[in-house]
Structure 1
Amino acid sequence: MRFAIKTRPEHTTWQQMREMWVAADEFEIFESAWHWDHFYPLSGDMAGPNLEAWTTLAALAQATRRIRVGCQVTGMIYRHPAVLANMAATTDVISGGRLELGVGAGWNQLECDAYGIELPPLKERFDRFDEGVQAMIALLTEKVANFDGQYVKLTDAYCEPKAVQTPHPPITIGGKGPKRTLRSVARWAQQWNVIVPGPAEWKPLKDILVQHCEDVGRDPAEITCSVNVRIDPDQPLDRAVADAAAYGEAGVDLVIMNLPLDASPSVLEPLAKSLASLT
């Protein structure tokens, strides 16, 4: 079992976030660090600060040296897939090949309404997502990319410089939709991330993913299965570590520890020591 951390870019400062990621970079047990892609805080005062995902991610990539960096997950509706592919390639270059490319179909109606961003009906949203992932892969892997979808079209399109990682930065697809999301995971993802109450809810979803992999001729072992475990500041740290252990016993590959909003870097050493006992 492997481990990562996730910080929330809401109600915080750049300096605080940077300090946490730089500190996590020193603990080998944390293989990656993640944040989210939203423009408004998801808790507390919606008018409060929330750092933008990709500009922050590129800066954090520059500030760290070892830890892999990712956004969990980028809403495809917020940025044209061709633009996102170029952002990903550049961020991978900045990081020296440490980017995890997290993507999802998007869901936040409030943000879309506020910014005038169209949030299509669910079927169209996933159709657009599937086309977007394919277009990004084309741009990241082909010298000249062409794609003729219903919603996304590329005509002799370039994405240079290419990412450091080949054939492209690993793609993480987040979500638990059994028909569309998990099928997309089986077709294109190197990592599947889902947020569920516990292992009992995770296992049936993994079974569905395995079936989708069989349908498309994919080895499910090629896909890292990750989940999030929230560290409650009002509970002993052992509680979250026990939750992580339960996921590991269920077959989860990567447990991403969601740090409390007001946590300081001092939380990382005891967390690292506790998690080390599970490996």
Structure 2
Amino acid sequence: MRFAIKTRPEHTTWQEIRDVWVAADDVELFESAWNWDHFYPLSGEPSGPNLEGWSMLAALAEATRRLRLGCQVTGMIYRHPAVLANMAATIDIISGGRLELGLGAGWNQQECDAYGIDLPPLKERFDRFDEGVQAIIGLLRDPVTTFEGRYVRLTEAYCEPKPVQRPHPPIVIGGRGPKRTLRAAALWAQEWHAITRSPAEWLELRSVLLERCAEVGRDPAEIACSVNVRLDDGIEAAAEEAAAYGEAGVDVVVLNLPHRAGPDLLEPLADALIRSGSAR
């Protein structure tokens, strides 16, 4: 099993986030680091500070040398897919090929209402998401892309320069919807990030993913599976939960660090994961 960290860019400062990521870059156990793609804090006062995720990734790519990095996950509703493809290619180049391209359909009504961003009904949102993923893959992979969807249209479109990772950075699709999200993961993802509360629940969702893979003719072994584990009950409890997910078959555990946690937490956390037996 592999391990990552996730920092919450709400009610905090750039320097605090940077310090944690730079320190994590020196802890070999952690293979990647993640933030989120929101414009408002998800806890506390919505008027509070929340750093924008993709701008941070560009700077954090320069500040680190080893960690893979990504947004967990990018809301497709916030940016045109062609714009996002160009952003992804650029950050993959800045990072030297370390980007993980996290994608989701989007959901935050409050942000959309405040900014005048259209949040379509669920079916249309996922129709747009499916088209957006395909358009992004084409732009990152192919010399020229033409795509004729209902919502996304590209006409002899270029995305240059191409990312370092070929054919494109790994696509990480996040969510738990059995009909649309898991089908999208089966079709296009290199990693599925599950929203789940327990290993038992994850196993149920994983069985649905296997069904979707069978439906579209995809080998499920090509799709890594990841989950979040929070540290609300302390380091040792999180390490035990990570070990339980590992026993269930999860490939990557993302440790959600406490709000404004400092770099000093990282070494004790890595030690606890090793002691739990989940780090092998």
TM-score tier, shorter chain, comes to over 0.9
TM-superposed CA distance for 1:226, in Å, is: 0.1
Deviation at 1:45, TM superposition (A): 1.1
Query: Percent identity between the aligned chains?
Result: 71
**Structure 1: which amino acid aligns with 2:124?**
E
Aligned to 2:256: 258
The alpha carbon displacement at 1:255 in A equals 0.3
> Per-residue deviation at 1:236?
3.3
Q: Output one character per residue of 1:156-200: Cα deviation in whole Å (capped at 9) or x when no partner.
A: 100000000000000000000000000000000001002211111
Change beyond 3 A, Cα 1:236–1:141: closer
1:194 pairs with 2:194: yes
- The code of the aligned residue for 1:210 comes to L
User: What aligned pairs does 1:1-279 form with structure 2 within 5 A after superposition?
Assistant: 1-232=1-232, 235-277=233-275, 278=278, 279=280
Conserved in 1, the CA contact under 8 Å of 2:139 and 2:158? yes
TM-score by length of 2: 0.98
Residues 43-93 of structure 1: CA deviation (Å, up to 9, x unaligned):
011111000010001110110000000000000000000000000000000
Amino acid at match of 2:251: D
Inter-partner Cα distance in structure 1 for 2:217 and 2:28: 34
3-state SS in 1 of match to 2:100: strand
Deviations along 1:83-124, one digit per CA (max 9) or x if unpaired, are 000000000000000000000000000000000000000000
What amino acid is aligned across from residue 191 of structure 1 in structure 2? E
The 3-state SS of whatever aligns with 2:179 is coil
8 Å contact from structure 2 (residues 182, 208) kept in 1: yes
**CA distance in 2: counterparts of 1:139 and 1:273, whole angstroms:** 42
Distance in 1 (alpha carbons) for counterparts of 2:207 and 2:216: 15
Gaps of 5+ in 2: none
Distance 2:270 2:234 in 1: 15
Q: Is the 8 A contact 2:16 2:260 kept in 1?
A: no
Residue 275 of structure 1, CA deviation: 1.4
Q: How many Å separate the matches in 2 of 1:271 and 1:236?
A: 9
Task: Give the gaps of 5 or more residues in structure 1.
Answer: none
Q: Secondary structure at the match of 1:3?
A: strand
Paired residue secondary structure (1:127): helix
Q: Any idea what SS the aligned residue of 1:83 has? A: helix
Question: What is the one-letter code of the residue matched to 2:265?
Answer: V
Q: Aligned equivalents of 1:256 and 1:133: distance in 2?
A: 23
* Equivalent residue pairs, number: 277
Take 1:248 and 1:100, find their aligned partners in 2: how far apart are those partners? 21
Question: Secondary structure of the equivalent of 1:39?
Answer: coil
Q: Point out 4+ residue stretches in structure 1 off by more than 3 angstroms.
A: none
Task: Give CA deviations for 1:219-257 in whole Å, capped at 9, x if unaligned.
Answer: 11111100000011xx33111100101100111000000
Letter in 2 for 1:25: D
Q: Which amino acid aligns with 2:142?
A: E
Query: 1:99 aligns to what SS in structure 2?
Result: coil
Paired AA for residue 266 in structure 2? L
TM-score after normalising by structure 1: 0.98
AA in 2 matched with 1:274: A
- Partner Cα separation in structure 2 for residue 172 and residue 20 of structure 1: 23
Equivalent residue of 1:200, what SS?
A: helix
Q: Distance in 2 between matches of 1:196 and 1:131?
A: 26
Tell me which amino acid in the other structure corresponds to 2:77.
Answer: I
Amino acid at match of 1:172: V
SS in 2 for 1:271: helix
Looking at structure 1, the residues matched to 163 and 99 of structure 2 have their Cα atoms a distance apart, in angstroms, of 9
Is the 2:163–2:169 contact (alpha carbons within 8 Å) kept by the matching residues of 1? yes
